[in-house]
Amino acid sequence: MRGKAMNEERERIRCHNCELVQWDDRETCRRCGVSLPHPIVKIVERVVERVVVRHDPECLATLEQARELIATASERLAGQAIDQVSPINLAQVSEEGSFPTLAEVERALIVAAYKRSDRRALQAAKLLGMGKTTFYRKLKDLGKFAA
């Protein structure tokens, strides 16, 4: 338990690979062994606590590094979000000028991801950026789920 009392309130974290929910004091997922993501905010909170409470001068440099890390990470994430947006295929727009419905677009994306991943649902879910349970449910709702 790494020094935490059994009754002490702890936070949980979800593995981004297999979606197993576990205590956030773990370094790796106990199911798949992938390194668990730890929010930058928690790291900054620990550094600030060391600077303010313990008057640790070495942490001032770490705090500056954390600030720079947050700035570069947010810029990188914003760039990834823009890269992931794909334009609407204008060939799909009918003569009346109406766009496909959201359900039609979702269905097309799910089927395309499922085919692209050679019918591997976990890989298809990762391609779409959704959890495997959500992907299985949506696939089943579409009638494409092969049990």
pTM > 0.85: yes or no: no
Domains of the chain: 12-84 (no CATH), 90-141 (1.10.10.60)
**Alpha-carbon distances of 97 from 42, 92, 94, 105, rounded to whole Å:** 49, 9, 5, 16
Assign residue 119 a region: left if phi > 0, alpha if psi is -120 to 50, beta otherwise? left
Percent of the chain with pLDDT over 90: 0
| pLDDT bracket for residue 7 (50, 70, 90) | very low
Q: Say what the pLDDT of residue 147 is.
A: 39
In this structure, what token pair is assigned to residue 61?
A: 């440099």
Q: Which has more confidence, 102 or 119?
A: 119
How does pLDDT run across 29-44, given as a tens digit for each residue?
A: 767 776 655 555 566 6
CA distance 21 to 10: 13
- 134 or 86: which carries more pLDDT confidence? 134
Q: Is the pLDDT of residue 93 over 70?
A: no
Average pLDDT on 80-90 reads 49
Sign of the torsion formed by the C-alpha atoms of 100, 104, 105 and 111: negative
**Distance of alpha carbon 14 from alpha carbon 32, whole angstroms:** 12
Please report the pLDDT score of residue 82 as a whole number: 44
